Structure 1
Amino acid sequence: MRYAICFTPSPSDPLSHVAASWLGRNVFSGEMVEPPAIRGIGIHEIAFHTAVPRRYGFHGVLKAPFHLASDVSEAQLMRDLMRFSGSLHPFRIPCIEVARLGSYYSLVPSIPCDHVQHLASAVVQHFDRFRAPLSEADIERSDPDGLSAAQFANLHRWGNPYVMDEFRFHMPVTGPVNSIDMPRIEQALRSVFEPVLAEPITVSNIALMIEEGTGGPFRVHSLHPMGKVSARKIA
């Protein structure tokens, strides 16, 4: 069983509904969702291109999946996450857009957002004590020979190459897409997501996600509101 610390909009957020429909699975309930009808792309093609992100559910990772260290428990992780979240101020990502990252598509901030960068770095550092050390097999799966010096150092220090200065916040919405299909897939993504991306994205909670069995789908285990209940402010 693995855990991950992420951001995902609340269950009632329109973006959550649209993302669940596109990916074919609700990250909160784990239930399968009927895909949208899109001209020029069939439901089987959508299912194929969303197979990878469907397993993980709609989210933006802050701390990548990890096994719990042997000297800590899930209850301790939840208590610490609750305290940590309560010490933070909610904020907004001004604008999110559909973008291609390599051969994948994700929703990413249109311009760099310092708030989310700082949040991710703080989460990685604060919760590192809950992470079990990587095995040699884990390290090999990270393709260490293909990493930069900074990424290699991150892998061994934090268990993930893409943290700190190497981190880029993104919410994946496809797996790898070949160059021939990219124009149609990108057009479909824009038609599905752009109507709910006109407003800033409010980051007001942190999600603890859990993997259902080895290699199983991830779902939201619990949402932890940011800021004190009596006085929450949006930065």
Structure 2
Amino acid sequence: MERALRTLVGAWLPCPIGPLKIDLVGGFFALVPANPIPTLLGFASHIVEEFDRFRASLSQDEFQRCLRSPSTRLRPPISCDGAILTSSIATASTYP
């Protein structure tokens, strides 16, 4: 995983994010860019795609719970069945 991370960050140029604001992300307060940054969204999407292979598979109980929970089904970038939902994010930028 560390090798994959080094490879990933070596392929991307720094992305200025500009001013930040406080927002709720997944029920937690977080500093987020004040304005949308397509390159940053594309980078986030790329990270999900690259590191999904390191994620443990859902257990049958987790899978069933995910199917029953509307909030989980609607939360990008990963669906209940583990498929990556990046089409709306990935189109926001060009990968290196």
**TM-score calculated relative to the size of structure 2:** 0.65
1-structure distance, mates of 2:34, 2:21: 6
Q: Which has the higher contact order (CA 8 A, sep 6+)?
A: 1
Contact 1:93 1:109 survives alignment (8 Å): yes
1:135 to 23, 40, 59: 59
Alpha carbons of structure 1 residues 87 and 103: separation in structure 2 relative to 1, 3 Å: closer
1:157 to 41, 57, 82: 82
**Structure 2: gaps of 5 or more residues:** 90-96
Compare CA radii of gyration and give the structure with the larger one.
Answer: 1
1-structure distance, mates of 2:26, 2:73: 20
1-structure distance, mates of 2:70, 2:42: 26
More strand by share: 1
* Map 1:31-180 → 2, pairs under 5 A: 77-100=1-24, 104-139=28-63, 140=65, 142=66, 144-147=68-71, 151=75, 154-158=79-83, 164=86, 165=88
Contact 2:20 2:33 survives alignment (8 Å): yes
* Equivalent position SS for 1:155: coil
Contact 1:128 1:158 survives alignment (8 Å): no
Contact 2:20 2:31 survives alignment (8 Å): yes
Shift of 1:91: 1.0
Contact 2:20 2:32 survives alignment (8 Å): yes
Contact 1:97 1:108 survives alignment (8 Å): yes
Q: Kindly, what percent of the aligned residue pairs are identical?
A: 24
Contact 1:95 1:109 survives alignment (8 Å): yes
The alignment of Structure 1 onto Structure 2 pairs a total of residues equal to 86
Alpha carbons of structure 1 residues 119 and 103: separation in structure 2 relative to 1, 3 Å: closer
CA RMSD of aligned residues (A): 3.1
1:60-99 superposed Cα distances (whole Å, 9 cap, x missing partner)? xxxxxxxxxxxxxxxxx11121112111111111111123
Match of 2:92 in 1: none
**Amino acid paired to 2:20:** I
* Equivalent position SS for 1:129: helix
**TM-score calculated relative to the size of structure 1:** 0.31
1-structure distance, mates of 2:13, 2:68: 36
**Structure 1: gaps of 5 or more residues:** 1-76, 167-235
Alpha carbons of structure 1 residues 103 and 120: separation in structure 2 relative to 1, 3 Å: closer
